[in-house]
Structure formats: structure tokens, C-alpha cells
Amino acid sequence: MRIATWNVNSVKARLPNVQGWLETASPDVALLQEIKCETASFPAKDFEALGYEVHAVGQKSYNGVALLSKHPVTDLLTRLPGEPEDEQARYVEGTVQGVRVASLYLPNGNPVGTEKYPYKLRWMDRLKAHAKGLLESGQPVVLGGDYNVIPGPEDVYDPKGWTEDALFRQETRLKFREILHLGYTEAFRALHPDMAHAYSFWDYQAGAWPRDMGLRIDHFLLSPQAADRLTVCAIDRGPRGQEKASDHTPVIVELDV
DNA sequence: ATGGTAGCTACGCTA
């Protein structure tokens, strides 16, 4: 089973890019983030035409996630538990062929020192609690998405310059590791322990893409039952170089299921 | 050099 995650930065602005990539890469499941539209206006038909069942969770203007699958999806969950008053559309989860799969968009958290950063930390605590429960099910679990977390200094072009950023500061990285320590495997680093410049995001500004000033912030976390079946994890830089590109590029895992 | 770009929305916010 091939699963892709991609922060598309507006599904409507990106429709030709996303459709074209899905036709070529043909993942069984595509996890999208930052669809930036309301659920009802998600262009579901454009993806159904490619053979996908569509489950979008959106809101006006910001955020929004989607789970596209070539196989039936059951037991859909459309919000991350733990803070019922949280209205931001950042989580969708369902079961595909016995695998529990989630598309998540973790809050950015900048600027640190505003309410945005404690919200990010609370969201990570909620994800940790939920991820712990998922492990107890014993099924393979794949949590993919834009984590807005740079796991280590090898995952950013200028670690010193990013030390106080919400994506890289110690408190953020420690909390990310707390989730891993529950028993999850970060797929890319597990298969490519020494690969440098393996970024998944390049800012639109300051020529970040041509200068390869990137970050690796889009990740797959796998439960032991999923990690045991992991054969491939790859970043496809192709879409970032296209016209009208998203600032993120897709990451893919393949599981032998 | 205190900028730069992109998307949503209709101005400033978010990233």
C-alpha cells in the first residue's frame, strides 16, 4: 500500500498540480493538508474522477485536511479528541484495508510568545494522548501530515538561525520525541539515517527553493505493526519545481500490506 | 538590505 502526504497550500489553487501528481504517483491513499476551503466546496468530483473516495474536513480560508483513498474508508474521525471547543480543521482519520490512517496539520506555533505557541503544544499533547490509544488497538497505524516540527539539526538548512523558531525550539522537539517514545517510528529517518538536505518544504520567499534552503517538517509516524511492513519512504521533490507549486512537496511511504 | 512570496479575501492574517 502506497500512502502519500502533501501540504498543497490551497486545493483549488493547486488542482492541476495535485491531479497530475496523483495520476503519475498513483498512491492508494493521499493525505492532504491546508486545503484552505470549506468542506462543502472541496472539489471532490475532480478526485473521484481519478478513482478516489474523498473525505475532506475544511473551514473557511485556513487549514483543512483531506483523506483520499482508492479503497473504502471506514470508521471516520474528523477531529482530534481532547479540546472540543477547538474549531480548527486539522485532523481526519479512517481505516483503509485494516490500516488506521490519519491526515494531520499540526499548528505552526509562530510567533512564540503569543497564544499560537501554547496552542501548538496543547495540540501535540492531544495528539500524544490519541496516538497512545491507537497503539493499544494493535492494528497498523500511519499518522501522516504537516507536523510543523523540524526533528533535528540535519533537517534544516540553518539550524542556528532556527533555534528559537516554534518549528525547531527544544520544547517542540522534545514533545515530538515524546510521541515517538510511545512506540512510533518516524519513517523517513528510520530508512535514511544519514541523508542530508532531505527537505519537504521551501519558503516562497528569498529564493529558498533554488538555493535549497529547506526544512523537513512533513512526516509519517508508524506504529510497530506498520513499521514492520515499511519498505519505502521517499520525498518527491518534483512538484516543488513546477509552475504554481505548493511550498511543500509530497512524501511517500510504502507498506507491504 | 528589517525585505522577500503566496493564498484567501477584499484588508489583514497566516504561513
Strand B closer than 7 A to residue A244 Cβ: yes
Confidence of residue A128 (pLDDT cuts 50, 70, 90): very high
Q: Which of A55, A130, A219, A248 is catalytic?
A: A248
Catalytic residue among A28, A130, A146, A155: A146
Q: What is the mean pLDDT of residues A74-83?
A: 98
Give percent of chain A above pLDDT 70: 100
How confident is the model over A47-54, as a mean pLDDT? 98
| A163 CA to B2 C1' distance (Å) | 19
Give the pTM.
0.98
Nucleotide nearest to A7 (CA to C1'): B15
A59 touches strand B (CB under 7 A): no
Specify the residue for cell string 503519475: A24
The set of strand B positions with any atom below 7 Å of a protein CB reads: 4-9, 12, 14-15
How many domains does the structure of chain A reveal? Answer: 1
Residue A134 φ/ψ, nearest 5 degrees: -65, -35
Asked whether strand B has any atom less than 7 Å from the CB of A126, the reply is: no
SS3 A144: strand
Sequence-ordered strand ranges (E) for A58-118: 65-69, 73-77, 91-96, 99-105
Residue-level pLDDT at A171: 98
- C-alpha cell of residue A185: 517510528
Collect all residues with Cβ–Cβ distance below 8 Å to A83 and sequence separation of at least 6: A122, A123, A126
A248 included as an active-site residue: yes
Helix (H, G, I), strand (E, B) or coil at A19: helix
Confidence of residue A217 (pLDDT cuts 50, 70, 90): very high
For strand B, is any atom closer than 7 Å to the CB of A107?
A: yes
Distance A97 CA to B3 C1' (A): 50
pLDDT digits (tens, 9 = 90+) for A152-163: 999 999 999 999
Cα gap A69→A216, rounded to integer Å: 25
How far apart CA A91 and CA A66 sit, in angstroms, is 8
A158 is catalytic: no
Domain coverage including residue A251: 2-255
> Cβ of A213 < 7 Å from strand B?
no
Query: Scanning the structure block, which residue is given the C-alpha cell 515524546?
Result: A178
User: Could you tell me the CATH number of the domain that includes residue A69?
Assistant: 3.60.10.10
Query: Known binder of ligand: residue A146?
Result: yes
The answer to whether A9 is annotated as binding is no
Q: What is the mean pLDDT of chain A?
A: 98
A146 is catalytic: yes
Q: Is the CB of A108 under 7 A from strand B?
A: yes
Question: Is A243 part of any known ligand binding site?
Answer: no
A110 pLDDT band (50/70/90 cuts)? very high
Distance separating alpha carbons of residues A230 and A2, to the nearest angstrom = 10
3-state secondary structure of A2: strand
pLDDT of residue A71: 98
> pLDDT digits over A159-194, tens only?
999 999 999 999 999 999 999 999 999 999 999 999
A241: nearest Cα among A220, A210, A219: A210
